[in-house]
């Protein structure tokens, strides 16, 4: 049974309230107003609405905390220590195409360290949650990363650079090395859920380049609290700064790191 802490209540309550409108909008996605932020980078009225709800609900509960928001930018904290890192819809492209694989992602950072994380797919009602030192959970089930020890038995997830994003050639070299060594590679289009799936043992590992802090803040803690390892692609620790991430269970992390860092 997941710990029902005060922080859990705040974060899950905010996510569930934002999710109610998201589910309605997902059912009428063709009616949504959509604008383009950059090449292949879209924002919908649903993103804006969900972010507004999350910000309002979290501010009510913790009025002195700051924010780093995908759509709304940065809001300084009054207490000088805490900030919420929020993606109202991680997987907007999936959402806009009617693909039911997207998530609300909320991370809480204290003095530069992620201390709580939530990833919620409202379509399948899967709520992933972790607090530092308290474990990771899917709804009420405790999570552990997979126990596989060989890459040849493993399924690894990734994110593929698309139009307007750099890194196509390095990624293809990485993919060639990985796919020659594993049982399968998956690309689902929602990094927060990819990391949550690593925490749940559904994926044995995940790597991607060029992510934003809101794509992975919550997922970083989920993987750690489920017993996994997570670093940059060269083994570094500045994940939120570089945007490059490699997550896996303890047996496979170094094997994947050796494959990918050699590119």
Domain tally, the chain: 2
Assigned domain for 218 exists: yes
Buried b (16+ CB within 10 A) or exposed e, 210-231: ebebbbbbbbbbbbbbbbbbbb
Whether 62 shows a pLDDT value over 60: the answer reads yes
Angle CA(166)–CA(209)–CA(177) in degrees, nearest 5?
100
For the segment 104-116, what is each residue's pLDDT rounded down to a tens digit? Answer: 999 999 999 999 9
CA distance readout (Å), 62 to 2, 54, 110, 237: 22, 12, 13, 28
Same domain, 12 and 132: yes
In sign, the C-alpha dihedral spanning 228, 209, 155, 259 is negative
For the segment 173-201, what is each residue's pLDDT rounded down to a tens digit? Answer: 999 999 999 999 999 999 999 999 999 99
C-alpha–C-alpha distance, residues 109 and 92, integer Å: 24
Looking at residue 212, which CATH number applies to its domain? 3.40.190.80
Same domain, 186 and 84: no
* Residue 120, both tokens: 């919620």
Question: Which pTM value belongs to this model?
Answer: 0.93
Catalytic residue positions? Answer: 70, 87, 89-90, 92, 215
Same domain, 61 and 171: no
Instruction: Read off φ and ψ for residue 255, nearest 5 degrees.
Output: -65, -45
Question: What is the per-residue pLDDT for 9?
Answer: 96
Q: What percent of the chain has pLDDT over 90?
A: 78
Same domain, 162 and 240: yes
Task: Give SS3 for 77.
Answer: coil
For the segment 203-214, what is each residue's pLDDT rounded down to a tens digit? Answer: 999 999 999 999
Same domain, 104 and 182: no
Assigned domain for 1 exists: no
DSSP H helices, the chain, are 6-27, 45-61, 92-96, 168-179, 191-199, 213-225, 239-242, 253-261
251 near 201, Cβ under 8 Å? Answer: no
Q: What is the mean pLDDT of the chain?
A: 91
Among 102, 117, 142, identify where a domain stops.
142
C-alpha–C-alpha distance, residues 226 and 154, integer Å: 18
Looking at residue 138, which CATH number applies to its domain? 3.30.540.10
For residue 106, the enclosing domain spans 6-142
Among 107, 142, 177, identify where a domain stops.
142
Among 112, 142, 172, identify where a domain stops.
142
Among 213, 196, 36, 220, smallest CA distance to 115 is for 220
């Amino acid at each position: 049974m997941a710990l029902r802490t005060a922080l859990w209540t705040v974060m899950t309550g905010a996510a569930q309230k934002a999710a109610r409108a998201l589910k309605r909008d997902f059912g009428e996605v063709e009616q949504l107003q959509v604008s383009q932020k950059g090449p292949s980078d879209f924002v919908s009225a649903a993103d804006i609405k969900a972010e507004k709800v999350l910000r309002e609900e979290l501010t009510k509960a913790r009025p002195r905390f700051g924010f780093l928001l995908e759509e709304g930018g940065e809001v300084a904290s009054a207490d000088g220590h805490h900030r919420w890192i929020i993606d109202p819809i991680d997987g907007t492209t999936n959402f806009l195409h009617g693909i039911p694989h997207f998530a609300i992602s909320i991370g809480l950072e204290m003095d530069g360290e992620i201390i709580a994380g939530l990833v919620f797919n409202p379509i399948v009602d899967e709520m992933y949650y972790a607090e530092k030192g308290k474990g990771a959970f899917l709804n009420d089930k405790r999570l552990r990363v997979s126990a596989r020890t060989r890459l040849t038995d493993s399924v690894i997830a990734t994110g593929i650079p698309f139009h307007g994003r750099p890194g196509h050639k390095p990624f293809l070299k990485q993919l060639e090395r990985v796919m020659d060594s594993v049982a399968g590679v998956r690309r689902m289009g929602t990094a927060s859920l990819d990391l949550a799936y690593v925490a749940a043992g559904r994926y044995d590992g995940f790597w991607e380049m060029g992510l934003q802090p809101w794509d992975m803040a919550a997922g970083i803690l989920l993987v750690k609290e489920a017993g996994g390892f997570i670093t940059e692609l060269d083994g570094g620790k500045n994940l939120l700064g570089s945007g490059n991430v490699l997550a896996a269970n303890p047996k496979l992390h170094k094997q994947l790191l050796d494959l990918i860092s050699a590119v």
